[in-house]
């Protein structure tokens, strides 16, 4: 077990900016290689975006981190509430699964929060990375970056080959949907530029 000190991240939120979010597994370990856990994560993303007033535009689950691109509704909760609504219940359920199966990973992901107090940590502590996107150019560049992440890392040959990504939705419109993946929302017209290959 390791000792952990709370980290904070200042947030600069503007009500109608898009957000490119990144959050990582504890110790940046490749914990997201389990399809059952990834399906569970997708479900919690669906629940949290719906409950807290966000549209999910693009995503990728990498082995050790997650990228999401979200757009807030006019009435929405803060990004920190959205992230907590994804990460906390998912982590709690994974902890239950590990405890039920007596998996040694439970102990490996248990840290000393402070003397005498231990805590399970699936996610790296801290808020992660939140980048505000204010125009169509940065918005589309973020989508492209998210989708190319697995191929850039050598995890697959083409972006559409990575199952846990929204790339196929963008690059092969009309392809068969997979209910185990996060649910995507339509891109509002004001975030679409003309003459691109996304839509």
Give percent of the chain above pLDDT 70. 88
Going along the chain from its start, the domains and CATH numbers come out as 18-191 (3.30.70.1290)
pLDDT at 124: 95
Environment class of 116 (CB within 10 Å of its CB; exposed 0-12, middle 13-18, buried 19+): exposed
Tens digits of per-residue pLDDT, 33-58? 999 999 999 999 999 999 999 999 99
Q: Is the dihedral of CA 158, 164, 165, 169 positive or negative?
A: positive
Check pLDDT > 60 for residue 4. Answer: no
Tens digits of per-residue pLDDT, 106-157? 999 999 888 888 999 999 988 789 999 999 999 999 999 999 999 999 999 9
In terms of average pLDDT, the best of 19-23, 109-113, 184-188 is 19-23
In the structure encoding, which two tokens stand for residue 150, read together? 């697995």
pLDDT at 40: 98
Sheet with 129-133: strands ordered across: 54-61, 65-72, 18-24, 129-133
pTM check: above 0.95? no
State how far the Cα of 53 lies from the Cα of 198, in Å rounded to an integer: 24
Q: Find the helix or strand (DSSP H, E) in which 93 lies.
A: helix 79-100
Tens digits of per-residue pLDDT, 89-110? 999 999 999 999 999 999 999 9
pLDDT at 173: 77
Check pLDDT > 60 for residue 168. Answer: yes
∠ CA 130-131-136, nearest 5°, is 145
Range 62-81 average pLDDT: 94
Q: Are the beta carbons of 91 and 120 closer than 8 angstroms?
A: yes
């Amino acid at each position: 077990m390791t000792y952990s000190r709370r980290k904070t991240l200042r947030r600069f939120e503007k009500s109608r900016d898009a957000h490119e979010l990144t959050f990582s597994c504890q110790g940046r370990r490749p914990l997201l290689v389990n399809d059952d856990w990834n399906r569970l994560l997708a479900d919690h993303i669906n629940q949290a975006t719906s409950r807290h007033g966000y549209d999910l535009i693009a995503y990728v689950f990498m082995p050790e981190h997650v990228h999401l691109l979200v757009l807030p509704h006019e009435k929405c909760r803060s990004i920190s509430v959205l992230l907590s609504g994804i990460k906390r219940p998912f982590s709690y359920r994974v902890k239950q699964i590990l405890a039920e199966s007596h998996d040694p990973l439970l102990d490996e992901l248990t840290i000393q929060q402070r003397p005498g107090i231990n805590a399970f940590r699936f996610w790296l502590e801290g808020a992660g990375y939140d980048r505000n996107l204010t125009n169509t150019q940065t918005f589309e560049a973020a989508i492209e970056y998210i989708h190319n992440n697995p191929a850039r890392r050598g995890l697959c040959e083409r972006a559409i080959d990575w199952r846990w990504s929204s790339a196929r939705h963008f690059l092969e419109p009309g392809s068969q949907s997979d209910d185990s993946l996060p649910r995507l929302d339509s891109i509002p017209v004001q975030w679409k530029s003309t003459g691109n290959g996304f839509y």
